[in-house]
Each structure stands twice: as structure tokens, then as C-alpha cells.
Structure 1
């Protein structure tokens, strides 16, 4: 499958992002020893990071997703690897998406912090994954929101790769998603594969072949969910499903 690019939009303003998150976008990329080890992709529920309730109904697709799309948050490569920092990040992203962009909720399905903590993003994402009952429709990649799970990776990975523990947590999360949704590891893409954007940063994008290989090795010959539990997505792209990402904040796709 050869993805097509869409949208040519101006790059996200670094000053705006700095103002929103209250942090500098350039920082250390060295992984401190305090980063916790990835552990079987424990996903911290929205209640844990004190997520706000969505402003409207979150739509669902009852077919299985076709692919995973990797993003970076374009925020600081912080040295704070704590769980508290991860929770703060979840709130900051949600506030930005809801208050600055006018979206109903945070746009991504899952977030992987620099400290290797995995957070549930958009409401219903974890329940859908655990029940293998389709996916909630996100707001993370124009043209792909009814078809793809969006994963935000905390940091700016234009020049530096993610810390080892964060990368390991990303591998484990992708393997879990692929196993549950019966996806091949080859169906892991970067945001720039579909939109005219720098996301997920050149360094992280260059790691995607290794990510696919590492995820594939985790899948092995393990038992997958039965076909009767989850069907292939038969939804077609609807023009209005992407208005949430397109209309309020065009610059979001140019990170």
C-alpha cells in the first residue's frame, strides 16, 4: 500500500506551542536512569490523569482499524520521566486540543511519555481495545481518522531519537494493538506518510522500519483474537469526519 500525501500547511508555531505547554521545545534528549521500564503496556486510564469529559459525543467505528499512525508531540525533550509528568502531559494535550482547536476531546488514542508511561487518550479508546470492538474515531491525521489508531510519542524527534525506555514502551503498545486488532506490523506508519508534515520528526520516522521489525518479533505465533469478534472496517472516508481536524486548526498537521 502506498500512502498518499495531502494538505500543504504552514508549520506549527513554536512560540504557540511553548505558550500552550509552558515549556521550551528544545531540550535534552538523554534518557535519565530514572525512566521506568516498560511493563506489558499498562495503559493508564483517563481517570488516572484526570481527563476532562468530552464536549460532545465521541463517534465509533465498529470495524477494526486498518493501521497505526505514529506522531510526536513536538514538545520538550524533558528530563522529567515521572508518572506525574506523564499525567500533566495528558492534561496539557487535552486542554490544547479542546480549548485552542475546539475539538470535542483529545485527538489521539494513546500517548507514550518520555518516561515510558502509556496513557489512554480519546474517551473510549482503551475500552474499545480491550473488548476488540472496533475503535473510537480520533482527530490526529487528516483522511485517516476513521481508519487508524493515533499514538502520540512525547518529545521532538527531528534530530534525536526517543529514549530507549520510551521506544520499548512504544514497541509494546504497538504489538498489543496489532495483536488485538489483527494488524500486521507492516501497517505502522508515520503521520508524514499521509499529510504534508514533519511529524513524527525525521529521527523517529527513520526508526519506523526498526519499530515494525521489533513489533513483528513480539507478535510471533501468538494467538490472535478470533475473526468473529472483530471484522474488517468497511467504512468509507466521509467528508465530514475530518472536519474536526481540518477546520479548527490547520497547523496541527504541520508539526
Structure 2
């Protein structure tokens, strides 16, 4: 399966970069960004694997090239009301145990996780260092598309409920950071898990808010 046809190429094309530069900026989803603002999105606080006491992977993690799409997931776990950092660590352990012990994967499948309290956490081993080097790690979060995507798990189930404000706001900041790092257009790069695989993920409510997510990410990138 190829990337969803309804989305244009996610990367800012050389033509668009040149057109934007000639006009004093870079084109981003139809918006002209000032050249000084194209890299305005800072890295949000990300809690490392060491901080949440991750289990070591069963085998070596493979570092790969930069992704061209950001895949939005939900964990389909209960919509807890404990928004603490301790609760964020707890769900991260649950995800890793599920992925390693039940799914049989070498490690947690996704590169990043956002808790309902809005805490961003590193997922698969070497994810954070790879992002900082404009690379990625081979995950197990989107079947048949792990070689070119990076995945963000969002704690909770959003088939009929809305994400918490803290979670959605952190998703905006995280996607803006990733789009800045990889030179991606958020209107093309940010997709739902269901765009690639037969799944309800990330839930009907969250999926319906992806246009809002893309627009808000573009606004953050404007600086």
C-alpha cells in the first residue's frame, strides 16, 4: 500500500521552497512562512526512557532515515482522570509490556507517547536521539509503513470522547517540533493510523479533529 492518495507529498518540495523564498518566506500548507519562522517550533519536554525506567529492547534498534508522515494513534485504553506524571509512566510501562509480551515485538512499537495529562515520553529505544539527528527508528506502529513513518500514541480511547486539552495541546507542540525537524508540511504529513491500516485508531472523534491539529501545528510553525 502506498501513502494515502488524498494527501499531497508531505515534504516541502524544492519548488515550493524556492517560490516561498522568492516571496520572502516558505510555503506551508498554502501559507507563506517567513524564512526565519520556518524553524520556530521548539522541542517540547520529552521524558526519556531512562526517566520512565523502560525495559531494554530484546534486540538492537534499527536507525533509519527521516520519516515523511506522522501517524496519530490512540492507545484504546481507559480515559483515566489521573493526569499525573506517575500515571504517564504507568501507561508507558503498560504499552511496552503489551507490545513486548503480548505482541512479541522487540520493544514498544511507537516512537513517542502523550499521556492524558499532556506528558510527552520517548517510546522505542533511540527514538529521541534519532529525532534530534533528523533520523528515525524502525518502529512497529503502522503495519507495512514503518519504514517511512513516525508514530505518536495518545493515551485513551477517542471513538466517542474528546482528547483532554492537555493531550491535544501537547500533540500540537509535538507535531510542530517533528515537522520543523524533518521539514514536513503538517497539512500533508499528519495522518491517522486508519489512513494506512484497517483500524478504528485514533478513534472517530480524534480523527475528525486532525484538520484542526494540522492547522494549529502550522500556526505554531509560523512562530
TM-score range normalised by the length of the shorter chain: 0.7 to 0.9
After the TM superposition, which residues 1-255 of structure 1 pair with which residues of structure 2 at under 5 Å, given as runs? 3=4, 41-61=44-64, 63-132=65-134, 134-186=135-187, 187-220=189-222
Instruction: Work out the CA distance in 1 between the residues paired with 2:43 and 2:66.
Output: 22
Task: Please give the TM-score of this superposition, normalised by the length of structure 1.
Answer: 0.70
1:161-218 CA distance string (max 9 Å, x none): 1011110001000000010011110210000001010000000000000000000111
C-alpha separation in 1, matches of 2:44 and 2:209: 20
Partners of 1:138 and 1:40 lie apart in 2 by: 21
- Partner Cα separation in structure 1 for residue 137 and residue 100 of structure 2: 17
Gaps of 5+ in 1: 5-38, 223-255
User: How far is the alpha carbon of 1:3 from its aligned partner?
Assistant: 1.1
Aligned to 2:24: none
What TM-score do the two structures reach when normalised by structure 2?
A: 0.80
Q: Does the 8 Å CA contact 2:116/2:164 hold for their aligned counterparts? A: yes
CA shift, 1:131, in A, is 2.0
Deviation at 1:160, TM superposition (A): 0.9
List 4+ stretches of structure 1 deviating above 6 A: none
Aligned positions, number:
185
CA RMSD of aligned residues (A): 1.5
In the TM superposition, residue 154 of structure 1 has moved relative to its aligned partner by: 0.3
